[in-house]
Structure 1
Amino acid sequence: MAEGTSDSPLGRRRLLAPLLVILAGVALRVDRLGAKSLWIDEVITFEVAQRPFFSPLTRDGSVAGFCLGDTGPGPLAYGAEWLLMRVRPDEQLLRWPSAVFGAVGLVAMWLLLRSAVQDRRAGLTALLVWAFSASQINFAQDARGYALATALVTASLWLAGKSWQTGRWRWWWGAAGLHLVAFFVTPLSALAFGPLALAVSLGTRRGAISSAPARLIHGGGSVLAYLAVGGLWLVAWFPRAFYLDTADGHRSARRLWPTVEGWSTLTDLARQWARDAADIRPVPWLPGNGWWLTASAVTMLAALTAVGLAACLRRWPWNVLVIASCLAPVSLITVLSSSHLLGPRHLFWLQPIVLLCFAWGVEATLRRLSSHAGTAAAVVLASLIISGVTPRLLERRLTEKANWRGATEWLIEHASPGDLILPGPNSEIACLQHELRTHVGWTTYHIDSAPQHPLAQALAAADRLQPRPFVILDGVDRVDELESLVAAGRRVWLLTGFWGSTTRTADHWDWLSAHAVPVTSFPGEMAIGVWLIEPPPGQTEVSAF
């Protein structure tokens, strides 16, 4: 990607452009890092990171115990956050590791492109896409370990490429080692290692890689070593991650075989990606609101990636890597058909490979043009990409994932003594409690209205305890419970966050529409709505209790 040594004037000048792109990407990753409230997954990370690292007496009361049942980050991700929380339990500090590794991922991507792409202009254009990638910026500002895992997978690809180019196996074992670390950060990183090992085992048509027996020894040996070490974690993690505890104490397995629902999930995922790709924001100062600009950028990115994918069919062993990696998501979807692991963020390991295909597509296109025409085309393409993604980046900069801080401050201002706050199930109550504890300094009530604790008893207990401006109830979600609150003359505020909006039944929403009034909402990727149920006029408050 670059010519000349780094200590020569030519080398220094050629390093200037990628350095500026990397600095721009770093600035985007640290911008407003602590300004947004934590969303549910980050709240979980924040709470878990303050537990003891290991406790043999409790199941989920420690970091080690909790991560065995989490289908997202692994022990190294939680362990890194646990170490930081020993320094200072701070929300912004919680996100800094992701921002740092987002910057490391930029450098790793530059090294990969510099090694795998011959045309410097194509590599620089691809690096620009990576720097301005909304998903990569999101990973870097999200305390969930995806930025670290992506950086490790990207660096592993670079080391694997060095092994293929030089024939030195130490580079390959370095790649396998980084992949193993990524596996303990996020188990799904393993999906990118299989194609790599397959490519090494099959070898190259040309190049300096050694004999077929050596390839089998190193490729197969690395897989065995990978499974021997990672298998211990996988055996411990798999049952907890894929078996659910039911309410009656029994265990039920998630579906682990291809089903009709699996193909339905595949269709839903395709629709979700299509909606995301077509999520074009209007730009008022451009003709036609600028929709054509973003649409052109998305179309160009997809077309050049397809060109690169076709071009890499002639590259060995990259073709094995890319084809197997692109087929892996389909296998994942059919095997884990009804699991929630199918979110696009869990395909983080595929993004460096897709970007490499894009770079090869740009390279193949520029090769057909003259030097000056190719440079002009690269500049136009880079300008189109930046112009197309900037409106969305600007909007994301100011948009919360879930604005629980704003919702909490609004409730404190508008709720009255004796009011009841009913968040949605599990995640909503956790987010609300976190905001009250960390930004308001309250110790809130967490009252369970399960059958052994009738609603009337729970309310009476809440009223006897130390007064608070309002009382928060958890688990009150059935229509009959809501009706009893209305009959009791209590004013009720309902918060409908992401989980509440997806898990509540149709009869719940019918009842809510008939008895509650939508008061306000807090926009975001996971919008929060606030509904109010007023007691009937003249009814004595809490008369039923």
Structure 2
Amino acid sequence: MDRRTRTTLLGLLLLAAALRFPTLGAQSYWADEAATVDVLRHPLGELLGAVRDQESTPPLYYLLAWVWTQPLGDSEAALRALSAVFGLATVPVAAAIGARLGGARAALAAAALVATSPLLVWFSQEARAYALLVLMAGASVLLLLRVLELPSRGRLLAWGACAGAALATHFFALFLVAGEVVWLAVALRADRRLLAMALAPPAVLGLALLPLALDQRSAGRASFIGEEPLGTRLAQVPKQLLVGYDAPGEVVAAVLAGLLALAALAGLRRAGGPVRALAAVAAASVLVPLLLVVAGDDYLVTRNLLAVAVPLLVLLAVGTAGLPPRAGTVVAVALATVGAATAIAVQVDDGSQRENWRDATAAFGHEATGRGRAIVVLPGSGRVAVEHYLPGARLLRRPEVVDGLVVLGVAGTSAGGRTDAPAPPGQVPGFAPPTVRRASTWSAAAYAPADPAGAAVDPGALGALGPGAVVLLQRP
């Protein structure tokens, strides 16, 4: 790259950092992130067992995050910073892929699209494995292209190690890696020894992970995915890959980004063999999970397809480089502008952010007094997050006498979009009328016993206060 290209790339890296790092601690942990923290609080010797028993993904992210949190802690900003680092590192990886497939213009366009992608910004600010998955998947594509340029033992082993790391991060990396294996097999068909050397690391690691995958699958922790209509999830995939989840003006942003993406794809008409091969691998990485739905294994949701995010964005970037220079620049800049504007809009709009259990649980203090208090969580999927923010809160299993009751309701998401925060009941038997505090995305109601001696609460009765409610007991 010449000096101008390197300077522009540096500016895009700074933009990517500006979209990711300053607001890392602004949002509450939501349920899945709180589950990550719970796993990471196990001693290292128990970590793999906790991943097996509590998660539905491989352990690589958790091992890295455990090491990360030892000196830095597990606050929202500290833990999410690891994902932000992964997200930032993905930008030059995408640029390098773009440079190999379409030259300097494609390299800058790829860096711009990855830096400003609302979906990649979102997962760069989430304490889960997805940002690492995106980085490892992109790096595997880059290393594969290096192998195809000049096959060597070192390059093949580097690709194999990276492909194995992708599999150790998320099981759905398998579909991208399998496509890469086919690509390699065709390219190296004349040298089976080199091919076997490349395939050994991911094959060995994949076999080692198979018992974990079967064990986690039998637990059914991802069964909730199939509860949402398949048609809705299919429609969400292209929209979310372009402009992320919820955002102000998301319909306009999605339509505009869709039109710009179609214009970029038009630039791929005369693309060379490597570009067509990458497009085939990316398409297969989406189509195979869809075929699994037909076979009865329904895990089709956008975040499980994130291994194709970098390949797809690079393909759009190469497409813009294939258009006339001025038109290609306009399309690339417009796509990046829509992405950056959408990412910023999410960060300033409470209704587009994660479930705000942090503020809801703080409404009436974090500590219980006296004989403790019952906590009703609406929806019940927020239980892990509430247990994280309210020390000592655990599932209420039998009737107890308490000195208070708190009903927490937080706005969430569903197949149809954002849901409103559940309204607290105006009256609960045995308690005085509540003191209610509200914000745009949550409500909290505190009830004092009608009898100063306390009130008896039953988990079954309190669970009827809202659909899917979970009842906790918090002792001092």
Which band: TM-score by shorter chain?
Answer: 0.7 to 0.9
Q: Which amino acid aligns with 1:328?
A: V
Q: Distance in 2 between matches of 1:281 and 1:253?
A: 25
2:268 to 302, 308, 330: 308
1:411 to 349, 355, 364: 364
Query: For residues 84 and 302 of structure 1, do their structure 2 counterparts lie closer, same or farther at Cα, with a shift above 3 Å needed?
Result: same
Q: Distance in 1 between matches of 2:340 and 2:276?
A: 36
Query: For residues 324 and 531 of structure 1, do their structure 2 counterparts lie closer, same or farther at Cα, with a shift above 3 Å needed?
Result: same
Deviations 1:357-380 (A, max 9, x none): 2123223323xxxxxxx2x32342
Provide the residue aligned with 1:31 in structure 2: 22
Tell which deviates more after alignment, 168-177 or 378-387. 378-387
Q: Which amino acid aligns with 2:215?
A: R
Provide the residue aligned with 2:49 in structure 1: 65
Deviations 1:143-196 (A, max 9, x none): 112212211221111111111122335323211111111221222222211111
1:428 to 382, 386, 405: 382
Q: CA deviation at 1:17?
A: 1.0
Q: Distance in 1 between matches of 2:78 and 2:248?
A: 34
Deviations 1:262-309 (A, max 9, x none): 7985323123336656878667xxxxxx97566323321244246538
Provide the residue aligned with 2:396 in structure 1: 448
Aligned positions of 1:348-387 closer than 5 A: 348-366=306-324, 374=325, 376-387=326-337
Q: Distance in 1 between matches of 2:15 and 2:323?
A: 26
Tell which deviates more after alignment, 159-168 or 306-315. 306-315
1:130 aligns with 2:114: yes
Q: Distance in 2 between matches of 1:79 and 1:387?
A: 36
Provide the residue aligned with 2:170 in structure 1: 186
1:244 aligns with 2:247: no
1:394 to 344, 355, 367: 344
Query: For residues 280 and 32 of structure 1, do their structure 2 counterparts lie closer, same or farther at Cα, with a shift above 3 Å needed?
Result: closer
Q: CA deviation at 1:78?
A: 0.9
Q: Which amino acid aligns with 1:239?
A: L
Q: Distance in 2 between matches of 1:241 and 1:309?
A: 43
Deviations 1:77-102 (A, max 9, x none): 11112223332433122122111111
Tell me the secondary structure at the aligned position of residue 186 of structure 1. Answer: coil
Query: For residues 314 and 383 of structure 1, do their structure 2 counterparts lie closer, same or farther at Cα, with a shift above 3 Å needed?
Result: closer
1:111 aligns with 2:76: no
Aligned positions of 1:40-189 closer than 5 A: 40-54=31-45, 62-91=46-75, 92-118=77-103, 120-189=104-173
Provide the residue aligned with 2:472 in structure 1: none
Tell whether the 8 Å contact from 2:101 to 2:275 is kept in structure 1 after alignment.
no
Q: Which amino acid aligns with 2:256?
A: S
Q: Distance in 1 between matches of 2:318 and 2:427?
A: 58
Q: CA deviation at 1:425?
A: 6.6
Tell whether the 8 Å contact from 1:280 to 1:294 is kept in structure 2 after alignment.
no
Q: Distance in 2 between matches of 1:145 and 1:63?
A: 15
Query: For residues 518 and 498 of structure 1, do their structure 2 counterparts lie closer, same or farther at Cα, with a shift above 3 Å needed?
Result: farther
Higher relative contact order (CA 8 A, sep 6+): 2
Count of aligned positions: 440
1:267 aligns with 2:231: yes
Query: For residues 379 and 166 of structure 1, do their structure 2 counterparts lie closer, same or farther at Cα, with a shift above 3 Å needed?
Result: same
Deviations 1:215-254 (A, max 9, x none): x44335533542223211222x123211138xxxxxx997
Tell whether the 8 Å contact from 1:306 to 1:361 is kept in structure 2 after alignment.
yes
Choose 1 or 2 for highest CA Rg.
1
Q: Distance in 2 between matches of 1:387 and 1:327?
A: 29
1:297 to 257, 261, 264: 257
Q: Distance in 2 between matches of 1:274 and 1:512?
A: 39
Query: For residues 79 and 381 of structure 1, do their structure 2 counterparts lie closer, same or farther at Cα, with a shift above 3 Å needed?
Result: same
Query: For residues 114 and 280 of structure 1, do their structure 2 counterparts lie closer, same or farther at Cα, with a shift above 3 Å needed?
Result: same
Q: CA deviation at 1:197?
A: 0.9
Query: For residues 263 and 75 of structure 1, do their structure 2 counterparts lie closer, same or farther at Cα, with a shift above 3 Å needed?
Result: closer
Deviations 1:345-395 (A, max 9, x none): 1111011111122123223323xxxxxxx2x32342244224423432222
Q: Distance in 2 between matches of 1:303 and 1:423?
A: 47
Q: Distance in 1 between matches of 2:238 and 2:67?
A: 39
Deviations 1:459-494 (A, max 9, x none): 2xx45xxxxxx45xxxxxxxxxxxxxxxxxxxx524
2:407 to 484, 493, 496: 493
Q: Distance in 1 between matches of 2:270 and 2:233?
A: 24
Query: For residues 228 and 406 of structure 1, do their structure 2 counterparts lie closer, same or farther at Cα, with a shift above 3 Å needed?
Result: same
Tell whether the 8 Å contact from 2:375 to 2:408 is kept in structure 1 after alignment.
yes
Tell whether the 8 Å contact from 1:495 to 1:530 is kept in structure 2 after alignment.
yes
Q: CA deviation at 1:129?
A: 1.0
Provide the residue aligned with 1:213 in structure 2: 190
Tell whether the 8 Å contact from 1:518 to 1:529 is kept in structure 2 after alignment.
no
1:331 aligns with 2:322: no
Q: CA deviation at 1:199?
A: 0.6
Sequence identity (%): 21
Q: Distance in 2 between matches of 1:512 and 1:312?
A: 63
Tell me the secondary structure at the aligned position of residue 190 of structure 2. Answer: helix
Query: For residues 265 and 307 of structure 1, do their structure 2 counterparts lie closer, same or farther at Cα, with a shift above 3 Å needed?
Result: farther
Q: Which amino acid aligns with 1:299?
A: L
Provide the residue aligned with 2:465 in structure 1: none
Tell whether the 8 Å contact from 1:125 to 1:359 is kept in structure 2 after alignment.
yes
Which ranges in structure 1 are unaligned for 5 or more consecutive residues? 3-10, 55-61, 204-209, 246-251, 256-260, 284-289, 367-373, 438-443, 464-469, 472-491, 503-508
Q: Distance in 2 between matches of 1:111 and 1:493?
A: 51
Query: For residues 13 and 304 of structure 1, do their structure 2 counterparts lie closer, same or farther at Cα, with a shift above 3 Å needed?
Result: closer
Q: CA RMSD in A?
A: 3.9
Tell me the secondary structure at the aligned position of residue 142 of structure 1. Answer: coil
Q: Which amino acid aligns with 2:375?
A: I
Tell whether the 8 Å contact from 2:409 to 2:423 is kept in structure 1 after alignment.
no
Q: Distance in 2 between matches of 1:15 and 1:304?
A: 23
Tell me the secondary structure at the aligned position of residue 308 of structure 1. Answer: coil
Q: Distance in 1 between matches of 2:444 and 2:115?
A: 37
Q: Distance in 2 between matches of 1:314 and 1:78?
A: 34
Q: Distance in 1 between matches of 2:171 and 2:246?
A: 33
Query: For residues 47 and 130 of structure 1, do their structure 2 counterparts lie closer, same or farther at Cα, with a shift above 3 Å needed?
Result: same
Provide the residue aligned with 2:474 in structure 1: none
Q: CA deviation at 1:421?
A: 2.7
Q: Distance in 1 between matches of 2:226 and 2:129?
A: 27
Tell which deviates more after alignment, 294-303 or 140-149. 294-303
